[in-house]
Amino acid sequence: MTALATERSVDERLDLLTEQVALIAEEMRQQRLQRERWADLVSDSAPVVSGAFDMVSRELESLSDDVTVEDAAQLARTVARAVPTMEALLRQLESISALGDEIVPLAAPAMATVTSTLQELDDKGYFTFAKGGADIVDKVVTSFNEDDIDALGDNVVLILNTVKEMTQPEVMTLLQRTALTAQDVDDDFAEAPSTFALLKQMRDPQTRRGLGRVMAMLRTIGAEQPAPKTDTER
């Protein structure tokens, strides 16, 4: 039993020693591979580094007449003094970035609402109407010359007062009734009425009232217009 146990112990120690030697060999192989890679990297980068140093040397030599060592030192001191300012700016940029991250989730629903509203306006025809209005404005602008604009400026108050009077409820109602009557007249008077029919209509109070209004309008149109004011009178 003792000999058998001793033999097993020796075999276990040999197996353990073999594993350790294998680990050491693998570690040495990995180190050799790293050294080879580093050597290849140094060999490949040597021309690049040499070219970079040559370029830097040429650039520094070309700047030697304009830039001195004292200038470089002054620049370094300026950069060093500006470090707190740059750090504060970086903190502000971080704050702005964090604010943007918070705004983005809030902006998505707002953008969806705006898009939906614009689509609804487009469906209702607002944009088509705006385009047509722009075309109308363009036609109006191109139809007036400088003299027309001057005349418009001189009479703009009179035009506005006329529009104001035309938009009174009584005037608008009268215009509406006149338009409706004009549409019906074509059917009612397809043939010219006789003189007797016209005289019969004169018995209608509304006809006489309308005729009186027409006569008043004709009297106003036929009245003498005041002479235009000269530049000296203005």
* Tens-digit pLDDT profile for residues 107-156: 677 777 888 888 888 888 888 888 887 888 888 778 878 888 888 788 88
Report, in angstroms and rounded to the nearest whole number, the Rg of the chain calculated over CA atoms: 50
Residue 233 has pLDDT above 60, yes or no: no
Token pair of 72 as six digits: 């470089």
Find all residues with CB under 8 Å of 202, minimum gap 6, and list them. 208, 211
Q: How sure is the predictor about 34, in pLDDT bands with cuts at 50, 70 and 90?
A: confident
Looking at residue 20, its pLDDT comes to 85
Contact, 103 vs 111, CB < 8 A?
Answer: no
Token pair of 114 as six digits: 């705006």
Most confidently modeled of 101-105, 116-120, 188-192?
116-120
Q: Is the dihedral of CA 129, 131, 137, 139 positive or negative?
A: negative
Contact, 207 vs 201, CB < 8 A?
Answer: yes
Q: What are phi and psi of 15, to 5 degrees?
A: -65, -45
Q: Is the dihedral of CA 219, 221, 224, 229 positive or negative?
A: positive
Contact, 113 vs 119, CB < 8 A?
Answer: no
The CA-based angle 203-192-174, given to 5 degrees, is 55
Which residue is listed with tokens 């943007």? Answer: 100
pTM comes to 0.31
Residue 30 has pLDDT above 80, yes or no: yes
Domain ranges of the chain: 1-31, 83-143, 194-222
Token pair of 225 as six digits: 């217009």
Looking at residue 182, its pLDDT comes to 66
Contact, 38 vs 31, CB < 8 A?
Answer: no
Give tens-digit pLDDT for 194-221: 777 777 777 788 878 877 877 887 777 7
Contact, 175 vs 167, CB < 8 A?
Answer: no
CA gap 96, 103 in Å, rounded:
10
